Homo-oligomer: A and B are copies of this chain.
């Protein structure tokens, strides 16, 4: 297997890099030296910049947090684009929205660099097990070329469209559900507490029935533990993602009542200081509200 480049080693990028290392060589970079040390310990070749990763790998996976970081990682002074060769391929796995993905692809086309738009869903644990859902947008040729890498990371790998941006658009639908489900888990557990129920007992019953969701299981457990270490997805990520969902809805003239509501709750939580920790902390906004 040729060297795969990985840019961004956060809550998702690091377990994904570890997973790729089980299948072949990886060259990786992150601005945070602690993360670089962690991936080196796992056996990756570490680079001093995104550009250096691009010199070592023909295919570069970007798993940074947002569009601003993507811009720096690809088009910055030490960005991947400065070192990528004609025929190389960039896989955008971050959630950055369809417009950003399309703009990156347009800009790299002049260098004959192919782009696959392939955001993922499933969270940290599943990333480490190679059990992500991958929503890929791009040509058949590029999708097939990246297929082995995607199959290493995901157990549900689907080419959802032929254009860069299609994966991001599907991811917006995914994030609408994820954001509303996290907010619903918070609302339900806070409601249980305020009705005088034991929220742990309630959670452990109702999650087995029609009320069950990935998020109620996953985030619900951490809401009940009151533990919000930032090893999982930071709350600020959902502020960003719900913003992308709503921007695209406004562009298309779609009214989104539940998503707007969940977005407002994440924003309120970020203003209250929970932005850099686990998004399960969104429940604290509700817990801190006075009774009406």
User: Which residues of A does B touch, CB under 8 Å?
Assistant: 120-123, 132-133, 135, 155-156, 158, 160-161, 166, 169-170, 172-178, 180-181, 183-185, 187-192, 194-195, 197, 201-202, 204-206, 208-216, 218, 245, 248-249, 252-259, 261-262, 264-265, 289, 291-292
Specify the chain B residue showing the minimal Cβ separation from A215: B210
Contact B184 A258 (CB under 8 A): yes
In the A-B complex, the 9 residue pairs with the closest CB atoms: A121-B209, A133-B209, A253-B291, A213-B213, A177-B211, A180-B184, A174-B206, A156-B208, A174-B211
Whether A177 contacts B173 in the complex (CB less than 8 A), given A202-B160, A210-B122, A262-B258, comes out as no
Contact B121 A210 (CB under 8 A): yes
Query: Could you say which residues of chain B place their CB within 8 Å of the CB of A123?
Result: 210
Cα A289 to Cα B253 in complex, Å, equals 10
With both chains docked as a complex, state the minimum distance between the C-beta of A22 and any C-beta of chain B, in angstroms: 21
Contact A212 B210 (CB under 8 A): no
Cα A83 to Cα B147 in complex, Å, equals 69
Query: Could you say which residues of chain B place their CB within 8 Å of the CB of A209?
Result: 120-122, 132-133, 156, 174, 214
Number of copies of this protein chain within its complex? 2
Contact B211 A249 (CB under 8 A): no
Query: Could you say which residues of chain B place their CB within 8 Å of the CB of A180?
Result: 180, 184, 187, 258
Q: For chain A, what secondary structure do more than half of its interface residues adopt (helix, strand, loop), or is it mixed?
A: helix
With both chains docked as a complex, state the minimum distance between the C-beta of A269 and any C-beta of chain B, in angstroms: 13
Cα A19 to Cα B87 in complex, Å, equals 62
Query: Could you say which residues of chain B place their CB within 8 Å of the CB of A253?
Result: 194, 291-292
Query: Could you say which residues of chain B place their CB within 8 Å of the CB of A291?
Result: 252-254
Contact B259 A187 (CB under 8 A): yes
Cα A187 to Cα B169 in complex, Å, equals 15
Contact A177 B257 (CB under 8 A): no
Contact B210 A214 (CB under 8 A): yes
Of A160, A187, A194, A205, most buried by chain B (CB within 10 Å of CB) is A205
List 17 A–B pairs whose Cβ atoms lie within 8 Å, in order of A's numbering. A121-B206, A122-B209, A169-B195, A173-B189, A176-B188, A177-B213, A181-B181, A187-B258, A194-B253, A194-B254, A195-B252, A209-B214, A212-B213, A213-B216, A254-B292, A257-B264, A258-B262
Cα A214 to Cα B202 in complex, Å, equals 17
Whether A188 contacts B173 in the complex (CB less than 8 A), given A212-B213, A214-B212, comes out as yes
Whether A188 contacts B177 in the complex (CB less than 8 A), given A121-B209, A261-B258, comes out as yes
